[in-house]
Amino acid sequence: PSACISTSARLASRHHRPLPEASESASEDPLSPPSQRSRAHDTSTELQPMPTSPAMDTAAQDVSLFSSPMAPHLFYPVLQSEVDASSPLMYGTPSSRVEGTPRSGIRGTPARQRADLGSVRKAPQVDMHSDEQGAGQRLVIWGTDVNVGTCKEKFQRFLQQFTAPNSREEENAGLDLNEPLYMQKLDEISVVGEPVLNVNCSHIQTFDADLYRQLICYPQEVIPTFDMAVNELFFDRLPDSVLEHQIQVRPYSALKTRNMRALNPEDIDQLITISGMVIRTSQLIPEMQEAFFRCQVCVFNTRVEVDRGRIAEPAVCRNCNTTHSMALVHNRSAFSDKQMIKLQESPEDMPAGQTPHTTVVYAHNDLVDKVQPGDRINITGIYRAAPMRLNPRQSQVKSVYKTHIDVIHFRKTDEKRLHGLDEDGEQKLFTKERVAMLKELAAKPDVYERLSSALAPSIYEHEDIKKGILLQLFGGTRKDFTQTGRGNFRAEINILLCGDPGTSKSQLLQYVYNLVPRGQYTSGKGSSAVGLTAYVMKDPETRQLVLQTGALVLSDNGICCIDEFDKMSDNTRSVLHEVMEQQTLSIAKAGIICQLNARTSVLAAANPVESQWNPKKTTIENIQLPHTLLSRFDLIFLMLDPQDEAYDRRLAHHLVALYYQSEEQIEEEHLDMAVLKDYIAFARTSVHPRLSEEASQALIEAYVDMRKIGSGRGMVSAYPRQLESLIRLAEAHAKVRFSSKVESIDVEEAKRLHREALKQSATDPRTGFVDISILTTGMSATARKRKEEVAQALKKLIQSKGKTPAMKYQQLFDDLRGQSEAAITKDMFDEALRALADEDYLTVTGKTVRLL
């Protein structure tokens, strides 16, 4: 079979080369591939030891007696390899095929070419102090100040000694944080078998700032050195491990650059980390790594490595000396996987009024197809620039460079939003000064008032509403009760604003939507259930089913502002039931069944059914929303036009000031929006208050008190849901103070706010008492009582009439009205009839009432 021929031909072609014993010591390797010269202008340096990534290239070319399979096989790897190589299209790096056994130890494990570090450009070391021989001698890689030996040593020391006791990264879960972190990770590699070591650059920075600088400035040289170091260390410790290929070091979180906009020419060839959103991914591009040529005359084979996209085609056959007889054989050439990814700046990083920038990113080998369009990712890679040719036949070049990033490490930032609970991934980085400033602000006694007045300053007063929204922005503490079977406890606070049209409800919603990073704004009128939740779509290109998320899922960890809540169709509203209590969304559509997290706070605004708020009616009657939904709102506020002179005066002053104050004056008066944003972001990620003993007692008392109020009048005035609301509000208030403990002042404010909201929304217009059942059952207790009374009166009336099987409807109504002291409306009469019909006492057919 062709495989046998190819292998033997290959062996034959390489026999004239010396076979080095080991690849760990590169300086003994006298061979330097032609590509090396690219960086070596001085020919004398050719003879200098050539240290970079020897494991990689020498092994790739010269240890070719045996080949190993691309994937580890349990039996007879040598034999298997023959079969594997017979595949006509050999996707994969050449090195992965030509490695030998034994399958353990550094010598036996194949190195894999790192396409992410660019083409195999190797630089010789130069002696910086060649004149002073002896101890002062210091070898560095040409063009850098990196000494391979020192660098390797430093990195090994880092791996062996670095501990991160305060690490909160998800990846370190399950590791003993007081033991050297990366040694544990090496152990993990030997167990899992995935030969990739992700190294946090900030760890290196804290351990050895100089090493970090070298890594950032010369990643192309330093990372192979790291590879070398880690492999030595690994196989020293675990000489018997079997890995697919040698371990590759993938640094991430380089602090060099955070924002795509900040990239500039100085970053070229440096290690950078930027964040962004994937907008497009290309198809897989097979990139030739090694070209295979065969002589047309004598069938002599030779291989040429591809150097920066160019192949040096051999002009003469080395075997038979025929000129121009070598032909490229595609099937036998080696390719590696490559994918072009377009990354766009995250909307949060953008200055206002500008369009987002995009960057081209190349992913290589196993990083291909790791990300999808729409993913938010952090990438770490090397920034590259290459000149552009106008036309291959012309010497003129466009004076523009093409830039791209060769990616070394991907980190999805939004992955956890869909699956986990951790918020660290999206933790915003604040400078120390900023944090100090925020903490100083938090220490002020009136911080709560300050922040609430900074919220939407253009909207006048409504202080309690603003306070409520402020607490909503902070949210409660997330608790996990999965173990006890209760599932997640809702930490988000939901608020409903209802009131007269034109009381700046929409403006408040717009403000909140603009304030929070993950806010969504929809109008009940225009949104469908699908637009709110998620839908499944077929991608026209790939024919793949794609889950498109709607406003509620998109505002996970944020706030979903829903205007014209009352105009929403019942169908759409029903979706909210699950979201607002369970904080999840279940989807069963087109074969996709899943549950998405939608831990969103809902801020909704509703207008009364009649164009004006009718103070004689209850909230439910005014806005005509199902009570099942209303009871899911923690706070329901009425935004009414308070008709009072002092208020009018202040309002007028406020509005007039709006129209003549200059921008500077405005800014002096209020905390600006940026501070507020940062304050909230900081509190949300770093403050997780817990209930103190004293606060728990206060909460219990508050709840018992609430229950007591109603019990005297035969009403239930509080449900466990209200207690949960109180807890959330108290926690949020503690967050406002940056306090890790919920104290009694927090409970006091939570109680006050809750009471205020209830006073507004759950007051029974007939009795003037606060009655929670208006919101929980849709009817006040007094109304229910009265309904029963009327029904009883009607029954008595009918009974008093004696044995008449049928009565006239109108007659009965008039009789009842005549008999009763209180005014009885037709509605009430109908209701009473219905109640009696439910008791199977009578039936109503048309205009006659029959007894049963």
Partner 1 sequence: MPTVHDWINNPLAVVDGLFAQSNSSPDWEKKVVEYFKEKLKLNDAHTWVPSLNDVPLYYLKPNSLVKFRCMVQDMFDPEFFMGVYETNDLTSNSKQVKCGKYKDITVGGVDFNSRNTVTSERQTFYCVPIPGESQWAKEISFIWCTSQARVVPSTSYVPNRHKRSYEEDDEMDTQPQHDVDMWGRPKRQETEAPSHDSSSAHCTSSLDLNFPLPGEKGPACLVKVYEDWDGFKLNDMLEVFGILSVDPALSVIADEREASSLLDPTEVTETVEEQRVHSPPPSLVPRLHMLYAQPLVHNNPLLPSSAPENNGDHLSSVLGELASVRAELHTYLTHVLMGDSLAAEYLILHLISNVYSRRDVLPLGKFTLNLSGCPHSSPYTEHLYKVIQQLVPSSYRLCMSLHNMNNQRMVPRKDYTANRLVSGTLQLANNTSLFLDETQLEQGQLDATGVRNITALGNLISWQKVDYDFNYHQMEFPCNINVLITSEGRSLLPSDSQVNLRPTLNPPNLEEYLSAVQVAQVPSQFNKYRIYLSGARALNYTISDEITKAVEEDFVEMRKDDPQSMSAEDLHRLLVVARLLSLSHGQNTLSRDGWMKAKQLEALRISRTQQQKSLSGNEP
Binding residue (CB under 8 A) for partner 1 from 357, 479, 707, 784: 357
Comparing CA positions, the residue from 676, 685, 519, 528 lying closest to residue 602 is 519
Under rule CB under 8 A, residue 34 binds partner 1: no
Tell whether omega for the bond before 102 is within 30 degrees of 0, i.e. cis: yes
Name residues contacting partner 1, limited to 281-300 (CB under 8 A).
282, 285, 287-288
428 or 486: CB nearest partner 1: 428
Binding of partner 1 by 503 (CB under 8 A): yes
Structure tokens at 717: 């005035």
Check: CB of residue 407 under 8 Å from CB of residue 379: yes
Bridge-partner residues for 585, per DSSP?
Answer: 596
- The angle subtended at Cα 173 by Cα 167 and Cα 179, nearest 5°, is 60
Backbone torsions φ then ψ of 127, nearest 5 degrees: -90, 115
List the one residue out of 458, 441, 459 whose CA is nearest residue 450. 441
Q: Interaction with partner 1 in 398-457: which residues (CB under 8 A)?
A: 398-404, 456-457
Contact 248, 189 (CB under 8 A): no
372 is a site residue for partner 1 (CB under 8 A): no
Alpha-carbon separation of residue 144 from 120, 214, 222, 251, 275 (angstroms):
17, 9, 10, 19, 28
Tell whether residue 268 is a contact of partner 1 (CB under 8 A): yes
What residues pair up with 334 in beta bridges, in sequence order? Answer: 290
Q: Which is nearer to partner 1, 518 or 690 (CB)?
A: 518
**Interface with partner 1, residue 537, by CB under 8 A:** no
Question: What one-character DSSP code corresponds to residue 223?
Answer: H
Residues 6 or more apart in contact with residue 769 via CB below 8 angstroms:
713, 715, 763
Q: Per CB under 8 A, does 191 bind partner 1?
A: no
Within a 13 Å sphere around the CA of 182, how many CA atoms are in the beta-carbon half?
Answer: 27
- The string of DSSP letters for 122-186 reads ---EEETT-SS-STT--EEETTS---HHHHHHHHHHHHHH---TT---GGGTTS-TTS-HHHHHH
Residue 225 or 346 with smaller CB distance to partner 1: 346
DSSP 238-269: -TT-B-SS--EEEEE--SS-S-GGG--GGGTT
Residue 663 interacting with partner 1 (CB under 8 A): yes
Tell me the sheet residues that pair with 439.
Answer: none
Q: Does 640 bind partner 1 (CB under 8 A)?
A: no
Structure token pair of residue 62: 């010269």
Structural element, H or E, at residue 826: helix 826-838
Stretch that binds partner 1, among 42-50, 339-347, 588-596, 806-814 (CB under 8 A): 339-347
253 binds partner 1 (CB under 8 A): no
**3-state class of 481 per DSSP?**
strand
- Residue (481 or 647) nearer to partner 1, CB: 647
Please report how close the Cβ of residue 265 comes to partner 1 at its closest, in angstroms. Answer: 4
Strand runs labelled E in 462-619: 479-481, 487-489, 495-499, 520-523, 534-538, 545-549, 559-563, 584-589, 592-597, 601-606
- Considering only residues 298 to 317 of the shown chain, the ones binding partner 1 according to CB under 8 A are 309-311
Nearer to partner 1, 395 or 810 (CB): 395
List of residues 6+ apart from 431 with CB closer than 8 A: none
Residue 354 engages partner 1 in binding (rule: CB under 8 A): yes
Identity of the residue, 265 or 712, whose beta carbon is nearer to partner 1 in the bound complex: 265
The two structure tokens encoding residue 747 = 């409970």
Mask for 511-530, x = binds partner 1 (CB under 8 A): x--x--------x--x----
Of residues 351 and 712, the one with the C-beta less far from partner 1: 351
Residue 572 engages partner 1 in binding (rule: CB under 8 A): no
Q: Over the range 117-145, which residues count as b (16 or more CB within 10 Å of their CB) and which as e? A: bebbebbbbbeeeeeeeeeeebbbbbebe
Tell me the HSE value of 769 on the side-chain side, using a 13 A CA sphere.
18
Closer by beta carbon to partner 1, 391 or else 542: 391
Asked if 602 contacts 560 with a C-beta cutoff of 8 angstroms, the reply is yes
- The residue (of 161 and 283) whose beta carbon lies closer to partner 1 is 283
Query: Should residue 347 be labelled a site residue for partner 1 when binding is judged by CB under 8 A?
Result: yes
Residue 2 CB, nearest distance to partner 1 (Å)? Answer: 25
Residue number, 461 or 705, with CB nearest to partner 1? 461
The least CB distance from residue 623 to partner 1, in Å, is 19
Minimum separation from the CB atom of position 790 to partner 1 (A) = 35
The reply on whether position 44 binds partner 1 by CB under 8 A is no
Does residue 655 belong to the site contacting partner 1 (CB under 8 A)?
yes
Under the binding rule (CB under 8 A), the answer on residue 390 touching partner 1 is: yes
**Is 264 a binder of partner 1 (CB under 8 A)?**
yes
Please select the residue that binds partner 1; options are 299, 592, 652, 704, rule is CB under 8 A: 652
- Rank residues 343 and 807 by Cβ distance to partner 1 and give the closer one: 343
Query: Closest separation between CB of residue 492 and partner 1, Å?
Result: 22
Q: What is the 3-state secondary structure (H, E, C) of 70-101?
A: CCCCCCCHHHHHHHHHCCCCCECCHHHHCCCC
Q: How far is the CB of 297 from partner 1 (least distance, A)?
A: 25
- CA 172, CA 79: separation in Å to the nearest integer? 39
For partner 1, the closer CB: 545 or 655: 655
- The yes or no reply on residue 352 touching partner 1 (CB under 8 A) is yes
Q: Is 540 in the site for partner 1 (CB under 8 A)?
A: no
The correct pick among 133, 396, 431, 571 for binding partner 1 (CB under 8 A) is 396
Contacts with partner 1 by CB under 8 A: the residue count is 82
Identified binder of partner 1 from the candidate list 245, 338, 466, 754, rule CB under 8 A = 338
| Residue of the chain from 89, 173, 312, 658 that contacts partner 1 (CB under 8 A) | 658
Pick 347 or 720: Cβ nearer partner 1: 347
State yes or no: residue 258 binds partner 1 (CB under 8 A): no
Closest CB to partner 1 among residues 386, 852: 386
**For tokens 């039931």, what's the residue?**
577
Q: Each residue of 244-271: b (16+ CB within 10 Å) or e?
A: bbbbbbbbbbbebbbebeebeeebeebb
Residue given tokens 């390899």 in the structure block: 81
Name the segment binding partner 1 (CB under 8 A); options: 145-153, 562-570, 618-626, 659-667: 659-667
Q: Identify which range of 433-441, 613-621, 658-666, 690-698 contacts partner 1 by CB under 8 A.
A: 658-666
Residue 385 or 723: the one with the smaller Cβ distance to partner 1 is 385
- 327 lines the binding site for partner 1 (CB under 8 A): no
Q: Which of 188, 242, 302, 460 binds partner 1 (CB under 8 A)?
A: 460
166 near partner 1, rule: CB under 8 A: no
Q: Is 683 in the site for partner 1 (CB under 8 A)?
A: no
Is the CB of 653 or the CB of 801 nearer to partner 1? Answer: 653
**Interstrand relation of 495-499 and 601-606 (parallel, antiparallel or unpaired):** parallel
Number of residues written out for the chain = 852
Q: Which of 242, 385, 745, 793 binds partner 1 (CB under 8 A)?
A: 385
| Minimum CB distance to partner 1 smaller for 395 or for 845 | 395
22, 217, 242, 651: which one contacts partner 1 (CB under 8 A)?
651
Structure tokens at 424: 């660290």
Cα dihedral value 495, 346, 172, 254, nearest 10: -140
Among 12, 31, 312, 657, binds partner 1 (CB under 8 A): 657
Q: Can you tell me the distance from the alpha carbon of 469 to that of 685, in angstroms, rounded to the nearest whole number? A: 18
Residue 280 binds partner 1, judged by CB under 8 A: yes
